[in-house]
Chains A and B, each alone.
Chain A
Amino acid sequence: MEILVCVKRVPDTAENEIEVNRDGSDIERDDLVYSVNEWDNYAVEEAIQIVDKVGGAVTVVSLGDEDSEEIVRREMAMGANNGILVSDDAFEGSDGKGVAAILKTVAEKGSYDLILTGAQADDGAGQIGGMLAAMLDLPYASVVNSIEVVSDSQLKVGREIEGGNQELNEIGLPCVLSIQTGINEPRYVGIRGIRKVASVDIPIWGAADLGLDASNVGQSAAGVKRVDYFVPEFGEGAEILEGSDEEIAEKLIDLLKAKGGIK
């Protein structure tokens, strides 16, 4: 099975405090730790496991600036066979549709039986998979937490729905799936793995390579534009307890007693 997995380089929210920059035009990007989007890592692991079982190859593609090469390489160290970096100044400012339109041309340059995305990325949109499927006229299933290859032309997939229930579906190939965390246990990538792929060539494709009219993607074509970042002013928020750990603990115990938090 030929599998394409879309992966995005994102600031790691577990490692960073994300702050708005001074004029609200972006987040503060100095000193951010980046990694592969959590959901995408599960998608790559799943693709590798499928290929281990039924044969084929895994290709990862990332759309971003040159720095995205590092996550393509990382996923190749995990076991993906091929990597592609899609990068062009003309792509900057693309909205979800723009990103999906670019990834569509990547998908069409190959011949993939299965295309995987993460369920969502750093901006929490969860949109690219469904858009890509619709653009390619392929069946789609989101928040997938199990995949069973039934035949060359069919999968049985579980979707994790509300309450942790699982919705089982049969879906024809080729198709697009967005992957939910927890579907597998992504393998650890050590220094040795990274070293092994340190010198593989990762092609960089721009608008011309993909036959894309630059005016159809990027900022100018975007129907949805980000205006600014800001820190919302909520109501009061939590009362923050101050003092030494011991003092805070004492105050908290009084509150717990008052609220029925200690039996």
Chain B
Amino acid sequence: MAAQVFAYIVHKNGVADDTALELVSAARNIFPDTSPTAIVTGSGTDLDGVCNDLAASFGEVWKFDHEALAYPNAEAIRKLLMAVLPADAVVLFPHDTFGMDLAPGLSIKLNSVFVSDAAGFEGLDGNNLKVIRQEYSGQVSTHLMADISAGAVINVRPGIFQPDESRSAGGQVVDKSSKIGDLSVGRRFLEVVEAEAGDVDITKEDILVSVGRGIEDQDNIEIAEELAEAVGGVVSCSRPIVDAKWLEKPRQVGTSGQTVKPKVYMALGISGSFQHMGGIKGNPYIIAVNKNLKAPIFQIADVGVVEDLLDFVPVLTEKIQEGK
């Protein structure tokens, strides 16, 4: 089947997000010969730069330029997409907070299947697309069969599909702005409030001692602080620790927290969800301490310790102190 494949491009300050080229690779994992069409919405001159940069990698780049699209309001963009997409389109989004906002509802309006957070594709059997996903925070994987005969909306996990820069598509930018109809919706964007800075800047640290839910109790944070002090690093954490208010938000590593690039990352009682790992860049040396050998962090880490961190970490700290 030869469905037309579209990729929605997230961009900021005139630069396309890394996921743009990842979606091209994802599309080719589904249909090996496809040259997907990029959909770029926005307003003003920034938009042209984004579109021109993408032309080399996409069969076509559809540009939608409108004042009301200056900030990507998912509700308005959904309305736009409903009007311009062909009936059996296969539409890819990155599985980020924008894709989560827009894609599930779009699949209802387009009357096509929705696949969330796809982590791999294993080919088409007729109209059935075989998809790999993870469940239970990555502890197990599943295969899904999605019937894409009436099209599909697919959210693709960021960071999985590597961009393939060797294949140039040599596409062109097509200004589709005249196709923009009514964009009025029940939700109005007001402003973005930037995250507050904290007392330490974990993004600048070489050694991070990071704690997750496995730390079990606020009082145990001390264990991590002592280790951090012994190695000359700083304590960071996963999201549940911030939700519980045990540490401040600026210490949170992950897609909805900070992006860090240390030399060494110690993950203590962290399962390794993709939203957490998404905040770790620069390929650091990762040490995982977790009592569950099945925790996905052990697939990503360089070295692992399968122990109760409450027992093991104090021993480690003591040995380091002794050696000094």
Contact = CB atoms under 8 A, between A and B. Distances in A.
- Interface-centre pick from B98, B116, B191 (highest chain A CB count, 10 A): B116
A261 B264 contact: yes
B226 interface: no
A161 B106 CA distance: 20
Per DSSP, chain B at the interface is: mixed
A161 B97 contact: yes
Nearest to A176: B105
Nearest to A241: B305
B43 interface: no
A165 B193 contact: yes
A27 interface: yes
A135 interface: yes
Contact of B187 (A141, A232, A246): A141
Contacts of B245: 185
Interface stretch (B56-64, B163-171, B248-256): B248-256
Contacts, number: 279
A262 B233 CA distance: 8
Most chain A beta-carbon contacts within 10 A, residue among B101, B109, B137, B143: B101
A15 to B, nearest CB: 10
A175 B97 contact: no
B8 interface: no
Interface residues of A, number: 85
Nearest to A178: B100
Interface stretch (B20-28, B31-39, B128-136, B172-180): B128-136
Contacts of A162: 96-97, 255-256
Contacts of B47: none
B186 A168 contact: no
Question: What are the 4 tightest A-B residue pairs by CB atom distance, in nearest-first order?
Answer: A263-B232, A139-B186, A130-B104, A134-B105
Interface of B: 73-75, 96-98, 100-109, 113-117, 130, 132-137, 139-147, 150, 185-195, 206-207, 213, 230-233, 239-240, 242-243, 245, 249-250, 252, 255-259, 263-264, 266, 271, 285-288, 292-294, 297-307, 311-312, 315-316, 319-320, 323
